[in-house]
């Protein structure tokens, strides 16, 4: 029989890997729990009413025509016997397994912030109902009100994401909610594209956005969703809208499979993305510890291609080649005003490391025309990648 590969998760990583394997003639089964995919990329614009959630929503019909797609939740993995068990009890045997389950939010990390608190204080860090909920709360908040947004400690999905969200919320308040304020609490002191974001905030939102880094007391110590209170060690904030983005870990099935270490994330070999903990299982996308590569859709897509080729090589008894991977992340600092960061990565001392001198960030003093062009690049990347992945 031809070798069988099972892929769990049809997001940016898993759907890409499955497509590459199918194109390479591998007998691949893609397992996905959700009816539809709702993309996080671009969802910060949904939060402030700049685009509809339908632009973010993709059906699996095209993917289902291109390969064998099973709509089920993967519940268990037996690495010794090499099978995955689905919610209905079906066992899928594999020669190699690829996990791309994305993230789980750690509802045990911030006192007071559990799954229920996320209804009053949405994270909107998994797109869908949460995104729409936060958008509705912002749309209906009073003029002169207070929004509290908390950014998590590293590592987490989409390093520039909280700061893009802060920028767009600040813009929304400036134009729609007179006298309203945004307090951005951060569990860190430094973050992605920081100089660019801070310059944009100083120029565009000086009276709207207050940034409180960790050193100034930005770490959230507790929340009270009933009273809409966010506490730090230094202060207490009463919010009209509170968006709490909690710490994260690899999606649950990665832990069940034994691939997550004590950090909650999955150490991998940077050439093949094979788990360092469980042979025969590969982990890609947000769930993986990919060294200097950020947890992004761009990264997940790039890692999926490298991993699929490595799996094809391993199944054919060939040694996989050492890869080069690229990531680019665009963010909006205001509607139609974009900034970006790009990097090139290669395996170095067992981790994915930056290739020195490659990549970089947008110039700090760019004109509005350049920022507008970057926003357009970001949007066209979104259209290309979602077409590529979901068909």
Q: Which residues bind ligand FAD (CB under 6 A)?
A: 8-14, 31-34, 37, 40-41, 43-44, 73-74, 100-102, 125, 157-158, 161, 251, 253, 285-287, 295-298, 300, 329-330
Contacts of 253 (CB under 8 A, 6+ apart): 8, 9, 74, 75, 77, 99, 101
- Phi and psi for 161 in degrees, rounded to 5? -55, -45
Encode 161-179: b = buried (16+ Cβ within 10 Å), e = exposed. bbbbbbbbbbbbbbeebee
- Residue pair 331/163 in contact (Cβ under 8 Å)? The answer is yes
**Beta carbon of residue 23, minimum distance to ligand FAD (angstroms, whole number):** 18
Q: Which of 260, 255, 220 is nearest to 239 (CA)?
A: 220
- Residue pair 277/261 in contact (Cβ under 8 Å)? The answer is yes
**Beta carbon of residue 381, minimum distance to ligand FAD (angstroms, whole number):** 8
Residue nearest to ligand FAD (CB): 11
**Beta carbon of residue 248, minimum distance to ligand FAD (angstroms, whole number):** 10
Q: Rounded CA gap, 311 and 70, in Å?
A: 21
**Beta carbon of residue 102, minimum distance to ligand FAD (angstroms, whole number):** 3
Q: Which is nearer to ligand FAD, 104 or 224 (CB)?
A: 104
Q: What is the residue-wise DSSP string for 134-166?
A: HHHHHHHSPTT-EEEEEEPPSS-S-TTHHHHHH
Q: Rounded CA gap, 118 and 95, in Å?
A: 39
**Beta carbon of residue 70, minimum distance to ligand FAD (angstroms, whole number):** 9
Q: Which is nearer to ligand FAD, 14 or 320 (CB)?
A: 14
Q: Which is nearer to ligand FAD, 33 or 110 (CB)?
A: 33
**Beta carbon of residue 135, minimum distance to ligand FAD (angstroms, whole number):** 12
Q: Which is nearer to ligand FAD, 102 or 343 (CB)?
A: 102
**Beta carbon of residue 156, minimum distance to ligand FAD (angstroms, whole number):** 9
Placement of tokens 């968006």 in the chain? 243
- The continuous run of DSSP H or E covering 288 comes out as strand 288-289
Q: Which is nearer to ligand FAD, 125 or 345 (CB)?
A: 125
**Sheet (strand 229-232) strand order:** 220-224, 229-232, 236-238
Q: Which of 97, 59, 61 is nearest to 78 (CA)?
A: 97
Q: Which is nearer to ligand FAD, 22 or 31 (CB)?
A: 31
- Residue pair 134/121 in contact (Cβ under 8 Å)? The answer is no
Q: Within a 13 Å sphere around the CA of 113, how many CA atoms are in the beta-carbon half?
A: 28
Q: Which is nearer to ligand FAD, 224 or 251 (CB)?
A: 251
**Beta carbon of residue 180, minimum distance to ligand FAD (angstroms, whole number):** 21
**Beta carbon of residue 365, minimum distance to ligand FAD (angstroms, whole number):** 23
**Beta carbon of residue 254, minimum distance to ligand FAD (angstroms, whole number):** 8
- Where are the extended beta strands (E) located within 126-260? 146-151, 181-186, 209-212, 220-224, 229-232, 236-238, 241-244, 248-250
């Amino acid at each position: 029989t031809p070798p069988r590969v099972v892929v769990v998760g049809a997001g940016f990583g898993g759907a890409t890997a499955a497509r590459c394997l199918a194109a390479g003639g591998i007998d691949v089964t893609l397992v996905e729990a959700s009816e539809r995919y709702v993309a996080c990329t671009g969802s910060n614009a949904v939060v402030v009413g700049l685009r509809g959630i339908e632009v973010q929503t993709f059906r699996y019909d095209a993917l289902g025509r291109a390969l064998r797609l099973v709509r089920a939740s993967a519940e268990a993995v037996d690495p010794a016997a090499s099978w995955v068990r689905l919610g209905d009890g079906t066992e899928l045997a594999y020669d190699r397994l690829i996990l791309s389950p994305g993230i789980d939010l750690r509802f045990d990390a911030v006192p007071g912030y559990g799954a229920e608190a996320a209804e009053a204080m949405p994270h909107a860090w998994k797109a869908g109902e949460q995104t729409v909920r936060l958008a509705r709360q912002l749309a209906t908040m009073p003029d002169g009100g207070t929004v509290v947004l908390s950014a998590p400690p590293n590592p987490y999905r989409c390093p520039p994401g909280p700061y893009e969200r802060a920028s767009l919320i600040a813009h929304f308040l400036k134009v729609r909610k007179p006298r309203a304020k945004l307090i951005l609490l951060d569990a860190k002191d430094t973050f992605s594209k920081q100089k660019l974001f801070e310059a944009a905030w100083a120029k565009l939102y000086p009276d709207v956005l207050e940034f409180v880094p960790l050193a100034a007391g930005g770490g959230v110590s507790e929340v009270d969703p009933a009273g809409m209170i966010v506490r730090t060690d230094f202060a207490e904030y009463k919010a009209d809208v509170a968006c709490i983005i909690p710490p994260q870990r690899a999606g649950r099935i990665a832990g069940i499979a034994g691939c997550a270490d004590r950090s909650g994330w999955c150490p991998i070999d940077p050439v093949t993305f094979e788990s360092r903990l469980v042979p025969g299982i590969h982990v890609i996308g947000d769930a993986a510890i990919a060294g200097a590569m950020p947890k992004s859709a761009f990264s997940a897509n790039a890692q999926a291609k490298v991993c699929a080729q490595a799996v094809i090589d391993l199944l054919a008894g060939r040694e996989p080649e050492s890869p080069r991977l690229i990531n680019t992340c665009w963010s909006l600092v205001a509607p139609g005003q974009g900034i970006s960061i790009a990097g090139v990565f290669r395996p170095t001392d067992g981790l994915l490391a930056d290739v020195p001198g490659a990549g970089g960030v947008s110039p700090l003093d760019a004109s509005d025309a350049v920022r507008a062009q970057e926003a357009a690049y970001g949007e066209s990347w979104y259209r290309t990648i979602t077409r590529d992945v979901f068909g």
